[in-house]
Structure 1
């Protein structure tokens, strides 16, 4: 094994990515997997009676070497996918699934953890918590199954690993391989910064002129500004065709048969474990607890959003008719006319704000909010990372190391779309303890020139704040055991810190201090700032509907028997909801990676809105003090939620912070739906 895979020797203990090659991963993975299996076998076969220390605590560090190898590999596979790395993923996935099946369904481990749990009353609170969670996870993995049921569960898990890996790779292939050349006469209406970004995208691919790719930071503004309706349609259809068999990869990258089989296997797995369906299984450990409670929340918001969207659709359709457009408002029309309506109603053009939202300025805002709320300080670190434009910082508080933070912000060919937060290393207090290494990944448009600024859209800036909100959950984590560290919480609680952090972006005090024109240094004019904030929720009906469609379809897919034809079922569900034809799902089934590239958000995409109910109420706690940086409220937020990870159930953590459960009113007000 290349020792750099597990014993990181870079600055501040970072991995030396310049010393790691793709050829290192297969032997490194094999060695780390064998080591983890040996450690877990020793725990399971221990002749001594089961105790907390020799069983549950021992399991906490059993996979440390394997986790370090995989954290490096999957980071690289996500930010810079290559055929070699994709082949390694396809090789590793079933082997990991088989390993997890063996360990999580080992009857010896199950018996030992059950014995510890039966006597857990005298344990310290965190020790008791990880014991309860270990038993719950083993039970939910199928450790209590026997005979044919046990064998079938192992088969399902192995097959699911292959299917979900294939799903993600098909979406990535369609995104990576599609380009739409745009002729000069197709540039009408496009702001200069977007044209320059399209030319940069063409140069990156060895092409002349300008192109649209399926990078969200390119295609969304293209759909908002391009006056050529036919080109908007072509671009939109390509964007929504990812994974459908009609994308750049054709039938070879169709995810429809994979989605159908994934849904069927999830249902079978849930039934083997005694649940009515996968939604019942999936929601059992979440704050929501049941699909009925989720549907009640989403239904209440749907009605308000549907009324708002219907009113907006009438106005946009009238604008289309004014332009001589024939027929109804189409999905490739909505963003274009919504942007025009925003300019008309609020005298606001998003392009006017972009020069003030440089990446460096918005990073300064992100870090300043963290300093004012939590006392965090940021110092750049020079380190060999996976690309020249990836950056790192050392984060301290009163001289104490809190975390290392890595930011990978620009789109590149082979990089997975979207934005996410992950870790190379999680916080824990075992032995000398370990501080986290946190990674934020985005897909912003790179700067046009080598020395030019990277200009963000308002949506980009919000994404930057969102992902750093996740990062605070890791940075401020202060627990003993790694399994409950950072974001290891209920799925419908995990978005609370990220969505809460977004609120500070909208505060005049933050914008006035950090939004500066990249050329002149002038602050964002107050009237432009106010128009920006007023226009921010101008299209709230559209944004809410496209999200709710995806959340409701996800939930319905996992309730009852799985659909034979997911696309037909999707169409049936949207028709039953009365969904506007001009507002398609934010994530349609063939490219719904949240749900089909793993189980993380399966039957759980609703969690963004469940958390939004809390984040609106949590920010209100600051507003009620009259100071959005109130030190006592920030300290309480850190002490009760951000530092505690999964050390207690999510509802208890929330009540420790707010002392009452929130209602939906603050969410509706925040989205502009009241």
Structure 2
């Protein structure tokens, strides 16, 4: 299948419509062969190893393989099927083998080490120095200094981990897809907004069923939890959501969780680290598990009193409203929404008409134009993997090409839940050309129905801004090497550009640029903007504690020796003890569907959301001092943070932008947990 294989021909934009599933494996095998030849030239060279002939050559070796695998794994997340999933299980070990062959090649390591050992005499640029450090650590952190037997052990561990991680994700997706709450009695819809009912009717219709169907995908699940008056039904769908991978059947993830954490711990030990968290945090701003734990403990200490007070108020409110004696997890969103309406007289149903998806897309483009001078033009001649995917060409004020931008907004059977940014082509400089990136965001927003267009909840609006912040980090990249470009930064720094952009959603000056009623064209009224801003800190104590609970669960799995853990649920309950507000639900287990840490890259890194929130709150305080559309501040942020990628240590970049280290109290001030600056 290498003959006439579109993946092996030269292309700039991914040739989705020409690609068949059976093209992937032979293309990847051929690309590995090419990569091996490119690396073979480095090891066979008899010239003295230099930065150019060794490190730079290694950086660009395997670039064809990188392009092909980015297409394959992006499809496996955004438009998968059983065939692709089966193929992923076949391809993953092949890629792991190749990666291990490279990083355990003694000749190649010898050459890289020769350059590394004389780096102080080489007069490298900062970016070259960073790349050299990255390449050297790529070997040492993957066993280059181990003996042959231990290298083989590491290879086996990596292969099994790659396979387990895929299996974990497949189980979660299968669990998400197999559950349906099928309602035929109109009484059961009490409290649900018109648009939510309409979407449920459309879903039932698409399955040739009468009535209404709700499922575990966020656009269906979250509104049901927030608005459905029927407490028993909320309980049923909530338990189904929390029990993914925890049913004792073929999709159960408990053994996968235990095996993954044990293998990760073995891997860390093999490489000379006490725990997997120590291993991961060596390459993070936070540096050590102790620092992460004390960071979370400090935030918990300041947020928990507020969270407990908020919880008590919510409990009293539920008792007063419906005589609820004990607040359960399936009550939180429902009564929280009711209390929010009572206190601020604002709810998603009031706001949604002002957030029609196309208007919000225009809005995020206008914000990017005002801050960074970017222009977005929708184009219809770029190949996509699904008819729903939209494409835009991005240029700057001088008409220069910046990026190609893909956007995929609605849930589908073959798309995993959540929202993410990814890329199909990195930015880098080569042969005197600045290769521009191809960036994509994938979301799961409410679909349009027969009655109305896609109207976003305010949470979905902030999600779109969040993912677009990541996209800007990718689009505005301007570095020499792909490995240091765009979002290739320390994991606890990567959320800064995304989280900071969310702040514009709360500002009148930004909202009035795009938040117009989809029927009347009326600009969002000042009083609604005021209510959005005031309600932004509603239950912020509880939200902070919830986020910290996930970070603490993650660290509980990865900052100890997990070999003594036999019961996933019992371990999780103990980890959640300091953050518990609601009673425990015996049928639920979060770890068995905690894809961020068992399938994504957040293992020993979930704390980074809060870490980056500190950075973003501190950054936005700077913007508010200067003006939220101040071009000088925006340019400074672009030049010191967005365009620099991972060329330098993030704290150096941050201090260059802000003039000082970030201040945790900026987050607590924004959250309303401590008083604002006078």
Aligned position for 2:89:
90
Provide structure 1 residue ranges, at least 5 long, that are not aligned to the other structure: none
**Counterparts of 2:79 and 2:33 in 1: how far apart (Å)?**
27
**Counterparts of 1:496 and 1:50 in 2: how far apart (Å)?**
37
Contact 2:311 2:542 in 1 (8 A): no
| Aligned residue runs from structure 1 range 295-334, under 5 A | 295-334=293-332
Q: How far has the Cα of 1:124 moved from its partner?
A: 2.5
Deviations 1:99-138 (A, max 9, x none): 1111112111111111111222322322222111110121
**Counterparts of 1:303 and 1:221 in 2: how far apart (Å)?**
31
Of the candidates 190, 193, 216, which is equivalent to residue 191 of structure 1?
Answer: 193
Contact 1:107 1:144 in 2 (8 A): no
Aligned position for 2:401:
401
Of the candidates 362, 366, 369, which is equivalent to residue 367 of structure 2?
Answer: 369
**Counterparts of 1:283 and 1:564 in 2: how far apart (Å)?**
26
Contact 1:189 1:226 in 2 (8 A): yes
Is 1:340 aligned to 2:334, yes or no?
A: no
Aligned position for 1:124:
125
| Aligned residue runs from structure 1 range 526-605, under 5 A | 526-562=526-562, 563-575=565-577, 577-582=578-583, 588-598=590-600, 600-605=601-606
| Aligned residue runs from structure 1 range 136-535, under 5 A | 136-183=137-184, 184-244=186-246, 246=247, 251-382=249-380, 383-397=382-396, 398-431=398-431, 432-449=433-450, 452-535=452-535
Q: How far has the Cα of 1:537 moved from its partner?
A: 2.2
**Counterparts of 1:37 and 1:228 in 2: how far apart (Å)?**
61
Q: Secondary structure at the match of 1:392?
A: strand
Q: 1:641 to 1:208 in 2, by over 3 A?
A: same
Q: How far has the Cα of 1:35 moved from its partner?
A: 1.6
Q: Say which is worse superposed, 307-316 or 433-442, in terms of deviation.
A: 307-316
**Counterparts of 1:207 and 1:65 in 2: how far apart (Å)?**
46
Q: Secondary structure at the match of 2:6?
A: helix
**Counterparts of 1:324 and 1:375 in 2: how far apart (Å)?**
52
TM-score, normalised relative to structure 1: 0.96
**Counterparts of 2:13 and 2:243 in 1: how far apart (Å)?**
39
Tell me the number of residue pairs that the alignment of Structure 1 and Structure 2 aligns.
663
Deviations 1:406-432 (A, max 9, x none): 000111112100000000000000112
Q: 1:109 to 1:587 in 2, by over 3 A?
A: farther
Deviations 1:230-268 (A, max 9, x none): 000001011111122x2xxx6111111011011001111
Contact 1:546 1:584 in 2 (8 A): no
**Counterparts of 1:102 and 1:518 in 2: how far apart (Å)?**
56
Q: 1:362 to 1:6 in 2, by over 3 A?
A: farther
Q: How far has the Cα of 1:41 moved from its partner?
A: 2.7
Q: How far has the Cα of 1:8 moved from its partner?
A: 5.9
**Counterparts of 2:51 and 2:425 in 1: how far apart (Å)?**
24
Q: Secondary structure at the match of 1:5?
A: coil
**Counterparts of 1:591 and 1:388 in 2: how far apart (Å)?**
30
Q: Secondary structure at the match of 1:672?
A: coil
**Counterparts of 1:423 and 1:229 in 2: how far apart (Å)?**
42
**Counterparts of 2:314 and 2:540 in 1: how far apart (Å)?**
14
What root-mean-square deviation, in Å, do the aligned CA atoms of Structure 1 and Structure 2 show? 1.7
Aligned position for 2:637:
637
Q: Secondary structure at the match of 1:514?
A: coil
Q: Secondary structure at the match of 1:243?
A: coil
Q: Secondary structure at the match of 2:456?
A: coil
**Counterparts of 1:124 and 1:530 in 2: how far apart (Å)?**
48
**Counterparts of 1:276 and 1:72 in 2: how far apart (Å)?**
36
Q: How far has the Cα of 1:45 moved from its partner?
A: 3.1
Q: Secondary structure at the match of 2:434?
A: coil
Aligned position for 2:33:
34
Q: How far has the Cα of 1:620 moved from its partner?
A: 1.2
